[in-house]
Structure 1
Amino acid sequence: MTEARRLYVLLCGYEILHKTVSTRDRGGRYIMAEPICAYLIQTTKGYVLFDAGFNSYNVEDPFRRAEYFPRRHGGYPPIVEPQHELLTQLEQIGVSPKDVGEVVISHSHFDHTGNIKHFRHARITMQRREYEFAMNEAVPSDAVIKPDFDYPDIHWHLIDGDWEIVPGVDVISTRGHMPGHQSMAVLLPKSGMKVMPADAGDLMENYDEEILPGQSVDDDSARAAIVRLKRIVESTHGEFLLTHDPVLIQTTKLAPDYYE
């Protein structure tokens, strides 16, 4: 019996990037506006947040914008309007940050870690490999903004592999795009299985044709992650909720609406 009750999709802004960021060696002439999504799951034990969106201060502040974005995705900064702010959307649902006891971070890229600072009271779950990568000063990454999550009072919960939060709410290890990438699967009582891959594959094209993401630390693992997620959806007659697909987002229920 699943303990998940509702799932909210939070649209936290848009990234402007070349399509090859999402599909390996495919679509280099195209520039896309890809959504940035996070997810709030209501369970019988409380709220779980999957990913933390983007910190808009990193583009609003001219010094941070100049520091972080000339070298990322061709220099195009994300677009975050007031309606996209994660905390604003939680407020519309009637949820405050202190109501969220569990936060799962798919990986350490800046469009997934931006609002961690508001949840320092919660347990923050990341794969151990990903945490070690993100905190390793000797391995810099243009897509990691460490000040967004490098707080001494964060309650890190480091895991190795798959993990069940509560029955029906599962963290799935999908390393490949990043050393410790993870996805989530949520079984809802009425609409069934929802699979949120995060950046294991940005677009439906990645799953329909098993196209690798633009970058990965391990191509074989990245391909295996795509196949694994496809099999979960197919075997459960489930549905993908993709973090970055600009077509799928237009037919996705957005908060304060929800899936149940």
Structure 2
Amino acid sequence: MSQQMPQRLYLMQVGTMPEYQIPIVCYLVQTGDGKNILIDTGLPEVIPAEGADFENGQDVITQLATIGLTPDAIDLVISTHYDFDHAGRHGAFTKATYIVQRVHHLDAASNPRFAANRPQWDQSSERIQLVDGDTQLLPGLELIETSGHVPGHQSVLVRLPKTGAVLLPIDAVPFANGFTREQPEADNNPDAEAIHASTIKLLDLVEREQIGLVIFGHDNQQWQTLKLAPAFYE
């Protein structure tokens, strides 16, 4: 087994949408050779006007401290996409390299959806590693291109020594009840076809790899049953 492979997966709830009881979350992967890989960074310290429904909790920096880590200890940040509830603290990790889909990074440059959070995600080019489509980042850590929610959204597959493969769909499929092959009812969403295609892609992956644990990032009912940091999956 490669020392580069993931050994631990920490789950961190860093905020909520109180009205809907929706968790806002991020994740930390630790590898056998000592790398710390953060997946998303949660909400910004100051939530923008369009995020009035969101509420900060124990932020990612505070939660990392509970397991003995400072922001400078983070080697990589896998940025699934630049929505402010997923990329709100990117700027805090000044020693890290950011891993993002090229399609997403290029789209964000002119997309008003991501403008308010630009100071967080628009890092110096030498610290951004652009990837194209499905990518094995390290042995046992795979990025899965799942456009639809936004162009170039990416999900993450983590292979752990005891738990086995864990799929993090992120916002490709935020709730368990949406993880279905059924075509959603028409709702005039111009991205509905891409969202459905990405859902099918992930369902096929789960069946092919016999993945036992799929963690839906905004599913409050599921998150009440999961092990949260400082506990971990291994």
- Structure 2 counterpart of 1:104: 78
| Distance change (3 Å), C-alpha of 1:149 and 1:8 | same
Alignment of 1:95-244 (within 5 A): 95-136=69-110, 139-141=111-113, 145-152=117-124, 155-208=127-180, 210=182, 218-235=191-208, 236-244=210-218
The ranges of structure 1 where at least 4 consecutive aligned residues each deviate by more than 6 angstroms after the TM superposition are: 213-216
Q: Which residue of 2 aligns with 1:38?
A: 26
Aligned residue among 72, 78, 92 for 2:54: 78
Mark the CA change 1:216 to 1:110 in structure 2 (over 3 Å): closer, same or farther.
Answer: farther
Q: Which residue of 2 aligns with 1:256?
A: 230
Whether the aligned pair in 1 keeps the contact of 2:38 and 2:77 (CA below 8 Å) is yes
Q: Identify if the C-alpha distance between structure 1 residues 185 and 134 changes in structure 2 by more than 3 Å, giving closer, same or farther.
A: same
Q: How far has the Cα of 1:216 moved from its partner?
A: 6.2
- Give the SS at the match of 1:198: coil
> In structure 1, the residue corresponding to 2:113 is in which secondary structure?
coil
> Does the Cα contact within 8 Å between 1:174 and 1:225 map onto a contact in 2?
yes
What's the TM-score once normalised by structure 1's chain length? 0.81
Shift of the alpha carbon at 1:99? 1.6
> How many residues are paired up?
229
Any conservation in 2 of the 1:110–1:145 contact (CA below 8 Å)?
yes
Q: SS where residue 32 of structure 1 aligns?
A: coil
**SS in structure 2 at match of 1:184:** strand
User: Residue type matched to 2:13 in 1?
Assistant: L
Residue 8 of structure 2: aligned partner:
6
Cross-structure match for 1:26: none
- 8 Å contact kept, 2:14–2:60: yes
Provide closer, same or farther for how the CA distance between residues 44 and 144 of structure 1 changes in structure 2, counting only shifts above 3 A.
Answer: farther
Provide the TM-score with structure 2 as the length reference: 0.89
Structure 1 gaps of 5+ residues are: 17-30, 59-67
Partner SS, residue 126 of structure 1: strand
8 Å CA contact 1:203–1:245 kept in 2: the answer is yes
How far residue 143 of structure 1 moved from its aligned partner, in angstroms, is: 8.2
Matches within 5 A, 1:53-64: 53-58=42-47
The answer on whether the counterparts of 1:48 and 1:100 sit within 8 Å (CA) in structure 2 is yes
Counterpart residue type for residue 127 of structure 1: Q
CA pair 88-96 structure 1, distance change in 2 beyond 3 A:
same
Aligned amino acid, residue 78 of structure 1: F
Give the root-mean-square deviation of aligned CA atoms: 2.3
Letter aligned with residue 238 of structure 1: G
Q: Where in structure 2 are there 5+ consecutive unaligned residues? A: none
Change (3 A) 1:80 1:4: same
Aligned to 1:22: none
Of all paired residues, the percent bearing the same amino acid is 33
- 2:207 partner letter: E
Does structure 2 conserve the Cα–Cα contact (< 8 Å) formed by 1:129 and 1:179? yes
The secondary structure found in structure 1 opposite 2:162 is coil
